[in-house]
Amino acid sequence: MNKQPIVWVFGDHLSPTQPALRQYPNAPALYVWDTAMLARNQLSLKRIAFVYECLLELPVEIQRGHPVDVLSAFAQAHNTNTIVTVDSVSPRFQQHCQRLSEKGFAVERLTPEPFVKIDQDRDLKRASRYWRQIQAVAFTKTESS
């Protein structure tokens, strides 16, 4: 198979400056609307629209279905067995990576740049708790801002 990877854009990294898109700017890129996750989590229309607007700024193809199945078909269509993505702490992401590996795909996980640097453990169960923990650091000017 071809050594040119595909890029998997996962929902935690919807930025045009994310590492996978920067490192492989000419690789085919894909975002998958995870239909099972959408049904289970019942995201609001506002949240779905926000994600979609972020995706419109990225050089990605957007598909819908089970991520492992859709990514497998996309990789095969591009004659590759290498999938590059940005690592995530999401348990669902970890499961998808494991299943892709079991199917024979090489999943290269790039390390994301931290949004903010904080010394304490983060509570990632709820976005509101996370933002309360980091708001003082996130909105403080740094030397580069």
Domain boundaries, the chain: 6-113, 114-145
Give the strand order in the sheet containing 6-9.
Answer: 61-65, 29-34, 6-9, 82-86, 106-110
For residues 3 and 14, give the distance between their C-alpha atoms in angstroms, rounded to a whole number: 25
Fold observed for domain 6-113: Rossmann fold (3.40.50)
pLDDT tens across 115-127, in order?
Answer: 666 666 666 667 7
Which single residue is written with the structure tokens 């904080």? 118
For residues 94 and 79, what is the distance between their CA atoms, to the nearest angstrom?
24
Question: What gap in Å lies between CA 59 and CA 87, rounded to an integer?
Answer: 19
**pLDDT digits 0-9 by tens, 54-106:** 999 999 999 999 999 999 999 999 999 999 999 998 999 999 999 999 999 99
